[in-house]
Structure 1
Amino acid sequence: MSKINLLQEIIDTSNNIVFFGGAGVSTESGIPDFRSENGIFESLRKYGDTPENLVSHSYYLDHTEEFFNYYKDNLVFDEAMPNPAHTALAKLEKAGKLRAVITQNIDGLHQKAGSKNVMELHGSIHRNYCQICGKQYGLNHILESDGIPRCECGGVVKPDVVLYEEPLNNTIMNFSIDYISRAETLIIGGTSLVVYPAAGLINYFNGKNLVLINKSETPYDNLASLVINDAIGEVFSQIKI
């Protein structure tokens, strides 16, 4: 039996699936992984620093305008559209098979594809808030601002995105742990499972089928029921739902 057929069988016979995804889920929608080798090279060439530093809490505080320049150029792709992975997961949820999508991505493409129950571990570019009065703003306010986005009260409007040096949202983490610990099937895609604490979520899985879909190997391949080394959108385009 081919790996695609085996994945099809796992999905067909599972009614409590949870999906956990990383940057590789969105690269097929034209959103580059800013931590890739090319992303690091470009950030050093253009901004003189590494991506991790440029999107850190310290850099945000000390170089706020430069932070927003980098952020808008490298982390915001508002015209990107969902790919077959996003649309397949939304269909699985609608069919009652998928309980939750847990994502490290901040692009909102799962929601754009129709997914309802999305745990955004690292936040979202579509939510922004004033750091003084708390007023909420959409993405357009960030994109249309010159320099530092400001609230009408004068405060800085910060993206609701988890920066380096900032903790993940405890509520989102706890919900994610609960979904994974109860899942019959956990499908992990588009992540090398090396960025913690998110990568540690796999340790809470106690179910039957662990499926890993990633172009490269991960440290957990030996624990998986099924490993597919391919682009996740390409894989899901072959699955019938």
Structure 2
Amino acid sequence: MNLVALTGAGISKASGIPTFNEMGNLREKLSRSFFETNPEEFYKILIEMKEKIERAEPNPAHIALAKYNVPIITMNIDGLHKRAGSKDVIEIHGNLEYVECPNCNELYDFNIVKETIYCKDCNSLFQPNIVLYGDIIPLFFCH
């Protein structure tokens, strides 16, 4: 028998990570239009989310999926499946591990946005490594 786990916000709720619906108006603030018009505020929100995620621990559901080596497709951006030890994880909405310079095509550790939200080489605004509301899921997830 072949299994694949499809997970979303509910699996991480037991780890203390609220769902986007529980976090107020995040749908608006995690949109492409908000990012483009308010990048400083956008990254402040992501930094707070990242700090909350870093304090969270994988819960028994994450650990069980890792223990049995179940491949996972998740909508979560929290990385808890990987922290639990799962190896075969597709994060269709991305994660908060990196940001990317759209001009240099370089990936940087997410924590760089605590210092600057602009590339030090070309001054382009870093792009988040998550799918924003209003974005289309990248094609490489759709094969």
Would you call these one fold, judging by a TM-score over 0.5?
Answer: yes
Residue 118 of structure 2 corresponds to residue 150 of structure 1: yes
Cα distance in 2, alignment partners of residues 78 and 159 from structure 1: 17
Partner of 2:13: 27
Partner of 2:129: 160
1:97-176 to 2 correspondence within 5 Å?
A: 98=70, 100-142=71-113, 144-145=114-115, 149-153=117-121, 154-174=123-143
The structure with more radius of gyration: 1
Match for residue 66 of structure 1 among 41, 44, 50: 41
Partner of 2:2: 16
- 1:142-171 deviations in whole A, cap 9, x for unaligned? 3x32xx522221222222100011101222
Residue 38 of structure 2 corresponds to residue 51 of structure 1: no
Structure 2 stretches lacking a partner, 5+ long: none
Cα distance in 1, alignment partners of residues 77 and 49 from structure 2: 12
Contact 1:129 1:135 in 2 (8 A): yes
CA RMSD of aligned residues (A): 1.5
Partner of 1:80: 56
Structure 1 stretches lacking a partner, 5+ long: 1-14, 41-49, 175-241
Equivalent position amino acid for 2:37 in 1: D
Cα distance in 2, alignment partners of residues 108 and 127 from structure 1: 12
- 1:58-91 deviations in whole A, cap 9, x for unaligned? 1101111111122222465223221111111011
Contact 1:90 1:113 in 2 (8 A): yes
Contact 1:34 1:75 in 2 (8 A): no
Residue 141 of structure 1, CA deviation: 1.6
Contact 1:121 1:173 in 2 (8 A): no
Q: Which runs of 4+ in 1 moved over 3 A?
A: none
Equivalent position amino acid for 2:130 in 1: V
SS at match of 2:97: strand
Contact 1:34 1:74 in 2 (8 A): no
State the TM-score, normalizing by the size of structure 2: 0.90
Contact 1:105 1:120 in 2 (8 A): yes
Contact 2:118 2:126 in 1 (8 A): yes
Cα distance in 1, alignment partners of residues 16 and 7 from structure 2: 16
- 1:82-141 deviations in whole A, cap 9, x for unaligned? 111111101111xxxx2x201010011111111111111100101211122111111222
Residue 173 of structure 1, CA deviation: 2.8
State the TM-score, normalizing by the size of structure 1: 0.55
Residue 18 of structure 1, CA deviation: 0.6
